[in-house]
Amino acid sequence: MRAVRLILIALVAFSLISSASAQSLPGGFVYLRDIDPSIIQDIRYATSNNFVGRPLAGYGAGECVVKREVGLRLKAVQQELAAQNLSLKMFDCYRPARASLDMVKWSQNGHETAAERRYNPNIPKTELFRLGYIANRSQHSTGAALDLTLVDLKADNSAKYDPSKTYADCTAPVAMRAPEGSVDMGTGYDCTDAKGHTAVTSINPEQRTWRKRLVAAMARQGFVNYSKEWWHFSLPGAGGAAYDFPIQPRRN
């Protein structure tokens, strides 16, 4: 009996060690859910709902992983927004370096589908890197860059993306675009078009106001917006080396 008990104890210990190692993160990284579970997550590169049309290499789970300082500052932004019945919604956080290489291969595969063109209706995908919309070496891989938007918690956000439907491109009116469960920023997420530039004037006043509110809320915690993408922010000084560890499921 004692031998059986020892075996059971050993198995439990092994299970705990395996579970811990499966979710261990290097270099001061954390799961954002452990910092602030109220922040909405829709990690698009872990799904087929993105410009590549499939999960990217390294995205084994739809979890936002960031450097701890970044997570704490996002929590502060969220606390401010909560008083306004708003929430952050994360589209991408830490990005394994292999995912950026996956994007490079995608851009060079020699064809573009109609679904892909929804994201870059006016620019050939072979030009996206040269024009600065996608980087070979992404700041996301340092854990200090983020893609995000705002959600109005009082609005009806129930509409979901349906892969069987044909949607208009990312610059079309919001009712024609793929639903994102967020406020109307004038374009969809990852829209590689001039209308996706943060300060563009060819969107309506309400859309410009939403962009300004997002930029201002993030700036109060030190985040800097990338001018060609209203959704992209980074925290200067919080990055460092690029990483390539895969994103794995978070365990409680």
Say which of 112, 116, 180, 229 is annotated catalytic: 229
pTM over 0.95: no
CA distance 33 to 41: 9
- Residue 51 domain-assigned (yes or no): yes
With respect to residue 212, please indicate whether it lies within any of the assigned structural domains. Answer: yes
Confirm whether 156 is domain-assigned. yes
> Is 140 annotated in some ligand binding site?
yes
- Residue 61 lies inside a defined structural domain of this protein: yes
Number of domains in the chain: 1
Residue 171 CB contacts under 8 Å (≥ 6 apart), including other chains:
121, 187, 191, 193, 195
191-240, pLDDT tens digit by residue? 999 999 999 999 999 999 999 999 999 999 999 999 999 999 999 998 88
Is 96 among the domain residues? yes
Residue 138 domain-assigned?
yes
* Structural domain contains residue 31: yes
Does 193 carry a binding-site annotation?
no
- Look at 60 and 111; give whichever has higher pLDDT: 60
Domain extent for 182? 27-234
Catalytic residue list contains 229: yes
We report the CATH number of the domain holding residue 104 as: 3.30.1380.10
Cα–Cα–Cα angle for 79, 203, 186, rounded to 5 degrees = 50
Query: By the 8 A CB rule, do 221 and 212 touch?
Result: no
User: 147 among the known binding-site residues?
Assistant: yes
Question: Is 77 within a domain?
Answer: yes
Q: What are phi and psi of 85, to 5 degrees?
A: 60, 40
